[in-house]
Amino acid sequence: MNAEQIADILDDMGTLLEIRGENPFRCRAYHNAASSLKSVTGNLATMVADGTLTEIPGIGASMMTKIAQLATSGQCTEYEALKVELPTGLLDLMRVPGLGAKKIKVLRDTLNITSVADLRKAATENLIADIKGFGAKTQTKILEGLDFLDTAGTRMLQHTARKIVTPILKAVSEHPDVIRSSLCGSLRRRAETIGDLDILVSTNHPQQFLADMAARPEVVQIIAHGDTKLSVRLNQGAQCDIRAVTDAQFPFALNYFTGSKLHNIAMRKRAIARGLKLSEYGLESDDGTATVCRDEADIYKALGLDYIPPELREDTGEFALSEAGAIPKLIETQDLTGCFHNHTDWSDGDHTLEQMAEAAMTKGWKYLGISDHSRAAAYAGGLSIEKVQEQWAKIDKLNESYGGKFRIYKGIECDILTDGSLDYPDEVLAGFDFVVASIHSGFGLDHDAQTSRLIKAVENRYVTMLGHPTGRLLLARAGYPVDLDAVISACARTGTMIEINASPYRLDLDTPHCRLAAQRGVMISINPDAHAIYGLDDVEYGVGLARRAGLSADQVLNTFDDQKVSELLNSKRDRT
């Protein structure tokens, strides 16, 4: 069982304990441990064996015992006992808006409700309104919540969230009563997937502003509407929270509503340690003296910290960096000089070589790396060796026509076959400027076989970079089982780069492994995997992920000038 699966079980255990009515701090300890475990990149088995797991914050002796059991056998005595006592259908009830552990416990104790189906039946039969502490409105809310769960997914991709929030943000910023406004929450932190949309404004007329927002056409349901906070459901099913504060409060509120939750807790604890109290409204000392902060940077400064960019605010080491004055200068989209891993109509792309190159030039880029599919990817129009040579000739011609002002790099997205060999012989691979090696088949191999397959592939001297290393599709498909830690080590050893596949559907590498790879000296390439000219814009999502991983421009291949990029592309084959 891997770290992520174990983290999910610890989360479930924490929730079941809440429903049982345990000490809330003990319950939270399980959630904290789960959260820590999710950012672990090292080999879990090793950490269990040598006891280093307890060095991770939030994991003590007791948690380690449970994690060790789960890691080796996939089971844990206490979890099994909990599942017997409390049906796991109760966990699904936590997803119903308005229901928490306390209410779920009451529902189970009074009506023996232990599943979503039980709940719907009881609410439909009007049994819930009579329970002490509940009522008609709560019952209606539960039914609405159940309908919502039926129709909407729980999280959305970043580009979906952006599409929904952009017109609202525009309306907010143009509202006459608004002084400052900003996107907050996980979208501002550029998290891989988004739960809801958060918008903050400063204004002197909060009630009027919130009333205007509540009346907007895309609002289909008001979830909560107070003097400073409005929570609505939009017609696409997404929840949007809008908060209004005074302009003096704005930086504090911006910091607070950007999160993450763990980052906020660390911030408040830091304030307490300095005899201060931090909230979304200000920073005060015990005697009530307020510290004036004009922007977020002032808040960090007041707590003895350098500014921490939103993408790093996950409490995964950013405080130590900030204290040490070592927050890196994070990569920005303007740093990109071009990009690799793009498809054309030679395989399954929509646009021609010329159109793709022109789109890249329009973005101010100096080069574009084309990598259509290799022959094994027949479903995607993979290129035969003859076609490859034909494309090379075409690219040579185009490059000549650009007169040195722009360059197309000849590449291929070469399938890694089941045995770890590549889809073309080395003599053909040698003719490309770069080779992206990816898995598109054989997802069913077991953990060890998949790991050796990938390691064998990156050991090929012509493989420049590894493409979408886990094959995951966000919210749709988990990655294949693989020891990424070992694969990253193999890349570091062989001088193979790894791509951040910047497609918002993939974002593969994930953040913790991207950080790990960079720390081990692996060069990262931010690749849009574009299948059309507009797909080139997806580099933006890759930049977001790179920033979350703490990468600066010099750790990313496609920020260098054309000459340096060529050198880097050749460095692996030149050294072997």
Partner DNA sequence: GCCGTTTTCGGCCCGACTGTTTTCAGTCG
User: Distance between the two ends of the chain, CA-based, in angstroms?
Assistant: 37
| Closest listed residue to residue 259, CA positions, set 330, 202, 311 | 311
**What gap in Å lies between CA 128 and CA 70, rounded to an integer?**
38
Task: Tell me how far, at minimum, the Cβ of 4 lies from DNA, in Å.
Answer: 19
CB of residue 553 to DNA, shortest distance in Å: 32
* Closest separation in Å from C-beta 231 to DNA: 7
In the complex with DNA, the residue whose CB is nearer, 9 or 466, is 9
Minimum CB distance to DNA smaller for 224 or for 476: 224
| Least gap, CB of 138 to DNA (angstroms) | 4
The span from the CA of 26 to the CA of 310, in Å, is: 30
Task: Tell me how far, at minimum, the Cβ of 76 lies from DNA, in Å.
Answer: 11
Q: What does the chain come to in residues?
A: 576
To DNA, the closest distance from the beta carbon of 149 in angstroms equals 11
Nearer to DNA, 149 or 361 (CB): 149
Helices 116-124 + 136-151 axis angle, to 10: 130
Residue closer to DNA by CB (options 272, 430) is 272
CB closer to DNA out of 36 and 503: 36
Q: Judged by CB, which is closer to DNA: 267, or 514?
A: 267
Q: How far is the CB of 17 from DNA (least distance, A)?
A: 8
Query: What's the rounded Cα separation, in Å, for the pair 60 and 238?
Result: 38
Q: Taking a C-beta distance cutoff of 8 angstroms, is the pair 165, 171 a contact?
A: no
In angstroms and rounded to an integer, the radius of gyration of the C-alpha atoms of the chain is: 26
- Minimum gap (Å) between residue 65 Cβ and DNA: 8
Closer by beta carbon to DNA, 77 or else 571? 77
Helix axes 261-273, 250-258, angle to 10 degrees: 130
Alpha-carbon gap, residue 327 to 314, rounded angstroms: 14
CB of 93 to DNA, least distance (A): 9
Q: Which of 90, 516 has the CB closer to DNA?
A: 90
CA distances from 558 to 426, 523, 548, 562 (A): 25, 10, 18, 9
241, 244, 264, 433, 516 from 257: Cα distances, Å: 10, 11, 9, 46, 28
Please give the Cα distance from 337 to 260 (Å, whole number).
31
Among 539, 491, 541, 544, residue whose Cα is nearest residue 518: 491
Instruction: Tell me which residues touch DNA (CB under 7 A).
Output: 23, 25-26, 28-30, 32-33, 54, 56-64, 94, 96-104, 129, 132-139, 141, 185, 195-196, 198, 224-229, 239, 241, 257, 261, 264-265, 268-269, 272-273, 277, 279-281
User: Coil, strand, or helix at residue 243?
Assistant: strand
Distance between CA 478 and CA 226 in Å, rounded?
Answer: 40
Q: Tell me whether residue 44 or residue 457 sits nearer to DNA (CB atom).
A: 44
CA atoms within 13 A of residue 217's CA, in its CB half-sphere: 2
| Packed helices 484-494 and 447-458: angle between N→C axes, nearest 10 degrees | 10
Q: How far is the CB of 208 from DNA (least distance, A)?
A: 14
Nearer to DNA (CB atom), residue 136 or residue 430? 136
91 CB-contact burial (10 Å; exposed 0-12 / middle 13-18 / buried 19+): middle
